[in-house]
A and B are shown apart, each in its own frame.
Chain A
Amino acid sequence: MRTYLLPLPLLLVTACPAPEGCLGGADDCVVPSPCKAVAYTCESGTSEVFVVTDPAQVPGGVGALGALGDVVLGNDKVVAVIEALDHPHYLGPTGGNLVDLSNRGANDDDLRQLLQATGLLPQDVAHYDTLQILDDGDIKAVQVTGTLDNRPDVRVATRYEIRPCEPGIRVRTELIHEGVDPMSVFVGDGFYFGDRGQIPFAPAVGAGFTHPAFGLSDVGDAIVTTPYMVAAAHEQPGASYGEVACDREGVSGFHSDIISAIGTPTRVLLPRDAEVYERFLAVAPGAAVSGVSDIALELRKQLWDEPFVTLTGRIVQEAGDVGSLGAPVRAQVVISEGAASDDPSTRTPWTHVIPAADGTFSARVPPDRTYTLEVEAFGQLVTSDDVKVGGGDATAADLTVPAVGELVVDGTVDGVTDHLLVFVDPTTADEADALMGTFLGHFASCAPLLGNPHGGSPACNRVLVDGPTSLVVPPGTYELYAAAGPFTTLAHTTVTVTAGASTSATLAVETLPLQPEGTLSGDFHVHGAPSFDSSLGGEDRVRAWLAARVDVIASTEHDVVGDYSAALGALDASSRLAVIEGTETTGHILFPLFSDSSYPRVIGHFNFWPVKYDPTDSLRGAPWDELVEPGALMDRLVGHGWDEGNGVAQLNHPYDGFQFGRDFGWVDAIDLDGTKPLPKSYDGSGASLFLRTPPGAAHANSDFDAEEVMNGSANSVYQPYRAIWFYLLNQGVLRAGTANSDSHTLTESVIGFPRNLVWADTSVADFDVGLFDASVRDGRMIGTNGPVLSVSLDDDTSAAHGPSLTPFQPDTSGALSIVVRAAPWIPVEEVRVVVNGRVVRTLRDELAHPASEDDLDGLDRLNMTLPLADLLPDSGDAWIVVEAGAPLVDSADLDCNGWPDTSDNNGDGHIDWTDVDALTDKPSVECLTDVGPLTAPPLPKRGELGYAYSVVVPGGAPMSYTNPLVLDLNGDGKFEVTP
């Protein structure tokens, strides 16, 4: 028996093949070239790989972030940039990921990030620690190796490869499990779209642009398997991307406007096994899916011998139509397998086209099927037709879109042609319903939809004008509204647009004497295309600033510093507004923030300015902002050149929910409880982080200068943010309150609504950022969505004091002076005097109201004094804030954390669990886990006073507040509020 067994070990050894690529773990391993069945040829094809030494070597585009030290991998068709290992972005703990991918010569990079991951948690992402350039004749490659983040027992190796003539790059990732416990593994690519940009398209039954909503707990239910995935850049210039697996016939993954993850099917991976994924990342120009899905079908023919045919067609405009084709909103076609009579949920969308100006289009589709062509115009399905496709190329019957009319809009400010944001509004609710449209089922609903809500002008139902501006509009009667910020008149006119005809309208706006002398208006939270969640490019972004008549803009892009110098120069805007470069630190990578927490978190978002733009830097001048507490983050900012003495650190949207498990607000992240005092030392709880100085840091977590009290044009978050601010003031944490739009696009929040009015001894023409920021830090400002508040109080030397965080001893026998003024189209219904967080006086009857929205004699709403002694508490110091605008909706704190969270949503007169959307049964506990919503003040209907305001400030109600007057009543030099 022994002799029979002897050869067995030899057999085992010789029968075992040598590990391929980096599976064996050798230090000098080379990941093999992927996608061997793919071959492209052309004349004069080239390929290159090099380390970036000059910013000019990096292709441009809204998403371009390549920097010195990164690696360019390119050929005659495409250019890719792979991050240097010490250049992490967004979700990556290290570099080594794809950060730019564009068409050669087009400067159309629209890729925020593509990174390898095996799941959704931080430890599922690849952490690369070696990068190698491989140059093998025409085949150029970059190989990165490492492990999963904080999991040294799971190795990862990725090869990015380029060859001449190919419309993309080949990628192979190997994941090797050297650990001891089985794991679930999915090897794939995370496409970080960011939101408001690329829309993923999956050719699966009922899918296409439609994807199920999911959360972290049910993402598995959203996974689909498709032949490929593509994502189009609906804003131009922008590249479109697609991914086709080379080693299997489909890709599995989930999709959303924020992130898509596709790769291998999820499977159990036992120790000492591996998973490998080969794919082709295709790149194409253009705003339609078809550019890259055509490539995907070509690849599948090469890989799996799947045939395709070309389907052509034409969109036809009705006779006399004044519009032209070529823009997505005018006409775009989704081509789905199935018949028009089929339930859409049973059809399989295969591609999407945008007709050329002459209406023609073509796309590749699988043969021998029936297809439905659905035409969307202005966000609505306007026509559809079926076409039978056989084994050869096919042509569909012409599809006719309804005729449109032309609207030429012009605007003047103080009689001179100038920038305006004009809103187009249907005249009745029924017309609005009839016109309501969405862009391929995504983003905001608009009536009418004149352009991609998150793109350039026209967007949603609004258009930037600077001189006569032509736009195509569905026939109908519309109201046009425009105001150049809250300190002008509001122009309003009615137009009727007829199919096939052109109509003109001019809106004339006049500046009103409302902005107080010695103030500059400022919006300190503004995004544009450099942010991962904005697609609004440079010139339109700056035009929106000009249209808003804001004096000072803090340009605060997520994680990077943006540069608008070219747009400012082209629009000659530098003399009209001061732009301070800054950044919004945005936590992406979850980490154990405090020991009492059972799950990892991020620290929310903070704005810092000024932060200088650096085109050579991987984050354009911003520091890497992950995995640290706010105090340590401030250290990084200082180390990166932030001028703390002349700058501002602002806590953004302190309490604002979360996305994919990442809190937007610091107060949320640390579960701060407003019913308890701030802990003075760290005890493992989140709340005790607030005042803490992180070990080794020079800054405390509370060393920010300002907190956003108003964020966004809509007002629903004002009450909780206000409550947090009041709580901090009562705790002796004196911080300025700011009011910012947080505008990302032309839709959603409007620039300058709200804005800050800052008393500062500087001007736009001769702007001194140090002086300006000193006033911001000291709280010498008000925040407003419309009303202008001026308050003052004399001190004991009879000197007048306005809002400021600097305590003073008032003349207690004196009076608080309150002046409220507003444009006649901005209703002001009440004024509230808040002392130490309590509303001690509400003024309604005392307010004057304009006779109409055009009543220029109706600017003055209130001018009165209140005896100070009637307002003060019985003991201790005090602070006073005055508010003006719409009444606050009744609210309650149902989860008992001190912040209002729920309004009387069922209108029964009291607020309880029945007002909570998420609850159907009475909870057994008093303090609820599910709460909300907390709604904004009700919006007026058409024809009601204030409706015009709600058109130009969508979702908003007039609201303003002063920063506090801080009163050291007992004159002891300290400020202490008695609880």
Chain B
Amino acid sequence: MITLLALLATAHAADPCEAASDGFIDGPTQAWFTDGALGAPRRTCTRSEFGVGAGGRITIDRPNFYGYVVGGLNLDGSYQIIPGVEVFGRLEAVRYDLAVASLSASAIGLGHLSVGAAFAESPVRDFTIGSHVKVVLPTATGLYHYGRPYGGELAVSTVWQAHPWVRLHDSFTVTVLAGSGVTAVPSIGGNVNLGLEFRPIPQFGIVADVDAGFLRTAPVDVVSVGGGLRFGDGKRFGFEVGARTPLAGRERANIVADLRGSVRFGPVAKP
């Protein structure tokens, strides 16, 4: 037993990003409430990977005779230019919207495109700090007719490898949403994320998140909890099924969920 504990104590990686250098998905749960995932908390560590996901959100507001379902197929990718520097993008390749009202409507087509760059550094052992900048572009041309919103975000995040099995992550994101063609009063808000990743074995993990957003649409946009189950082959592939649900705030969605698989490129190391 003492030997085992001693082994665990000495089992820390040099930084959290090295500890997550296989294809297993890391960082916060990916399911998020906004188009183009504007404001969604992001992993701190950089990597090169390609992912495919399917997900959506559902809103049921019976007293106001309102319902909304949006779902689709998302493609995402990132390229680590040098360790700690990454460019990334995400495309809602196919997006289906269903608005339920006294006269309902639906649409299917291309969704939003987001592109950005991320940076990460590990100033001390077991701790990495990063930042990213992202823009969300209104490429959903079938949906917008007269006005197009443009989103942007700037975030700072950290991850701490508290234990070989446990990581804590957090982030703070500032979002800006502005439009053209119609009323273009920009809205500015912020999101805070705090989460925990538990990975007892290389092939399985659990993530849990608490998020709060404010000022973008209301004094409190959302307070939500979320989580996911993660799986991997311990090498290049990773899968996550995750969801978030609001507990408070203006956000009307009942739940947002995502199923995503990814493959990591470049050098990988077994955890």
Within 8 A of B (CB), among A254-292: 266-276
Top 3 closest A-B pairs, CB basis?
A: A184-B99, A120-B102, A16-B180
Decide: B181 and A266 in contact? CB cutoff 8 A: no
Given A23-B146, A182-B99, A598–B107 Cβ distance below 8 Å?
A: no
- Stretch of A173-181, A310-318, A404-412, A423-431 lying at the B interface: A173-181
For A270, what are the chain B residues with a Cβ–Cβ distance below 8 Å? 35, 140, 143-144, 149
Assess the A184–B70 pair: CB atoms within 8 A.
Answer: no
Q: A219 and B103 in contact (CB under 8 A), knowing A121-B65, A273-B146, A274-B146?
A: yes
In the bound complex, do residue A19 and residue B181 qualify as a contact, i.e. CB atoms below 8 Å apart?
A: yes
Q: Pick the contact of B105: A17, A155, A178, A184 (CB < 8 A).
A: A184
Q: B75 at the A/B interface (Cβ < 8 Å)?
A: no
B105/A185 in contact, CB under 8 A: yes
- Known contacts A23-B146, A182-B97, A274-B145: A268-B182 contact under CB 8 Å: no
Contact across chains for B183 and A273 when beta carbons are under 8 A apart:
no
- Looking at the assembled complex, report how far the CB atom of B155 sits from the nearest CB atom of chain A, in whole angstroms: 19
Least Cβ–Cβ distance between A205 and chain B, in angstroms: 22
Q: Which residues of B contact A123 (CB under 8 A)?
A: 64
Which residues of A have CB within 8 Å of B101? Answer: 119, 121, 124, 183-184
What are the residues of chain A within 8 A of B8 when measuring CB–CB?
Answer: none
Whether the Cβ atoms of A273 and B145 lie closer than 8 Å is yes
Name the A residues within 8 Å of B100 (CB-CB): 184
State the Cβ distance, B216 to closest chain A Cβ, in Å.
8
Chain A interface, >50% SS class:
loop
Q: Which residues of B contact A155 (CB under 8 A)?
A: 183
- Taking a contact as CB atoms under 8 Å apart, the answer to whether B106 and A272 are in contact is no
Instruction: Report whether A184 and B181 are in contact in the complex, using a CB–CB cutoff of 8 Å.
Output: no
Partner pick for B144 among A219, A273, A276, CB 8 A cutoff: A273
Instruction: Say whether A273 contacts B143, CB under 8 Å.
Output: yes
Residues of B with C-beta under 8 A to A415? none
Which residues of the partner chain A approach B140 to less than 8 Å between Cβ atoms?
270
Contact with A along B90-134 (1 / 0, CB 8 A): 000000011111111111000000000000000000000000000
Using a CB–CB cutoff of 8 Å, the interface residues on chain A facing chain B are 12, 16-17, 19, 23-25, 118-121, 123-124, 155, 176-178, 180-186, 216, 219-220, 223, 266-276, 598-599
Of the residues A178, A219, A276, contact of B102 by C-beta under 8 Å: A219
Q: A181-B68, A182-B68, A219-B103 are in contact. Are A271 and B149 (CB under 8 A)?
A: yes
A174 to chain B, nearest CB (A): 8
Please, how many angstroms separate the alpha-carbon atoms of A176 and B179 in the complex? 12
Tell me the bound Cα distance from A267 to B109 in angstroms. Answer: 13
Smallest beta-carbon distance B92→chain A, Å: 12
- Residues of B37-89 at the interface with A, using a CB-CB cut-off of 8 Å, are 59, 62-66, 68, 70
Known contacts A182-B70, A267-B107, A274 near B181 by CB under 8 Å: yes
Known: A25-B183, A182-B97, A598-B62. A220 touches B104 (CB 8 A): yes
Given A23-B147, A182-B70: A272 in contact with B103 (beta carbons within 8 A): no
Q: Closest B-chain residue to A26, C-beta based?
A: B183
CB distance from A403 to the nearest CB of B (A): 49
Query: Which residue in chain B gives the minimum CB-CB distance to A25?
Result: B183
Query: Given known contacts A181-B59, A598-B63, is B102 in contact with A121 (CB within 8 Å)?
Result: yes
B-chain residues with CB within 8 Å of residue A274 when the two chains form the complex: 145-147, 181-182
- Complex CA gap A703/B106 in Å reads 48
Q: Which B residues from 188 to 227 make CB contacts under 8 A with A?
A: 217-218
- B120 vs chain A, min Cβ distance (A): 19
Interface contacts beyond A19-B146, A273-B144: sample of 7 additional A-B pairs, CB < 8 Å, sorted by A: A24-B183, A123-B64, A178-B182, A183-B99, A186-B105, A266-B104, A268-B98
Q: Which of B98, B103, B252 contacts A119 (CB 8 A)?
A: B103
| Residue B247 at the chain A interface, CB threshold 8 Å | no
Which A residues are CB-close (under 8 A) to B102? 119-121, 124, 216, 219
> Which residues of the partner chain A approach B65 to less than 8 Å between Cβ atoms?
121, 599
| Cβ-defined contact, A24 with B217, below 8 A | no
A261 to B: closest C-beta gap in Å: 8
In the complex, residue of chain A having the shortest beta-carbon distance to the beta carbon of B217: A180
**Binary contact track B239-267/A, C-beta < 8 Å → 1, others 0:** 00000000000101000000000000000
Q: State the CA gap A178–B183 with chains docked (Å).
A: 7
A272 CA / B176 CA spacing, docked (Å):
13
Determine whether B167 belongs to the interface, using a CB cutoff of 8 Å to chain A. Answer: no
A178 to chain B, nearest CB (A): 5
Whole-angstrom CA separation of A24 from B144 in the bound complex: 15
Beta-carbon nearest neighbor of B250 in chain A: A180
Greatest chain B CB density within 10 A among A177, A271, A272 is at: A272
Chain B residues within 8 Å of chain A by Cβ, number: 41
Determine whether B148 belongs to the interface, using a CB cutoff of 8 Å to chain A.
Answer: yes
Can you report 6 residue pairs joining A to B where beta carbons are below 8 Å apart? Answer: A178-B183, A180-B250, A181-B59, A220-B104, A271-B149, A273-B144
A24 to B182, CA, bound (A): 5
B107 A272 Cβ-Cβ under 8 A: no
**From B143, B147, B149, residue with most partner A Cβ within 10 Å:** B147
Chain A residues with CB below 8 A from B149, complex form: 270-272
CB neighbours of B218 from chain A (8 A): 180
Which residue in chain B gives the minimum CB-CB distance to A155? B183
The answer, among B70, B103, B105, B146, for a CB contact under 8 Å with A276, is: B146
Complex contacts, B182 vs chain A, CB 8 Å: 19, 23-25, 176-178, 272-274
The distance from the CB of B109 to the nearest CB of chain A, in whole angstroms, is 10
Whole-angstrom CA separation of A181 from B181 in the bound complex: 18
Report if B11 contacts A (CB, 8 A): no
Q: How far is the CA of A272 from the CA of B65 in the complex (A)?
A: 22
Given A181-B68, A182-B70, A276-B146; A17-B181 close (CB under 8 Å): yes
A117 nearest CB across to chain B (Å): 10
CB A20 to nearest CB in B, in angstroms, measures 8
Find out whether the CB atom of A268 lies under 8 angstroms from the CB atom of B183. Answer: no
* Contact, CB under 8 Å: B105 / A266: yes
Q: Which A-chain residue is minimally distant from B112 (CB atoms)?
A: A270
Closest to B70 in A: A182
Give Cα A395 to B252, complex, Å: 62
CB distance from B76 to the nearest CB of A (A): 21
Q: How far apart sit A25 and B186, CA to CA, in the bound complex (Å)?
A: 13
Minimal Cβ-Cβ distance residue in A for B67: A184
Partner of A267, one of B35, B64, B105: B105
Q: Which residue in A216, A219, A271, A275 is a CB contact (below 8 Å) of B145? A: A275
Cα of A12 to Cα of B181 in the assembled complex, Å: 12
Query: Is B162 in contact with chain A by the CB < 8 A criterion?
Result: no
Kindly state whether residue B184 has any CB partner on chain A within 8 Å. Answer: yes
**Nearest chain A CB to B21's CB is how many angstroms away?**
27
Among B66, B101, B177, residue most surrounded by chain A Cβ atoms (within 10 Å): B101
Contacts of A220 in B (CB 8 A): 103-104
Chain A residue nearest to B146 (CB atoms) is: A274
Write out the residue numbers on chain B whose beta carbons fall within 8 Å of the beta carbon of A178. 182-183, 185
Taking a contact as CB atoms under 8 Å apart, the answer to whether A16 and B181 are in contact is yes
Separation of A16 and B183 alpha carbons in the complex (Å): 12
When chains A and B are docked, how far (Å) is the Cα of A274 from the Cα of B146?
A: 5
State the Cβ distance, A929 to closest chain B Cβ, in Å: 18
Shortest CB-to-CB span from B125 to chain A, Å, is 33
- Complex contacts, B98 vs chain A, CB 8 Å: 268
Compute how far the CA of A274 lies from the CA of B145 in the bound complex, rounded to whole angstroms.
7
Pick the residue among A176, A182, A184 that contacts B103 (CB under 8 A).
A184
B205 to chain A, nearest CB (A): 33
- Knowing A24-B182, A176-B183, A182-B68, the reply to whether A272 touches B147 (Cβ < 8 A) is yes
- Chain B residues lying within 8 Å of A268, measured Cβ to Cβ, are 97-99, 105-107, 143
Residues of chain A within 8 A (CB-CB) of B104 are 184, 220, 266
> Chain B residues with Cβ under 8 A from A19's Cβ?
146-147, 180-184
Q: Which residues of A contact B250 (CB under 8 A)?
A: 180
Interchain CA distance A216-B65 in the complex, whole Å: 12
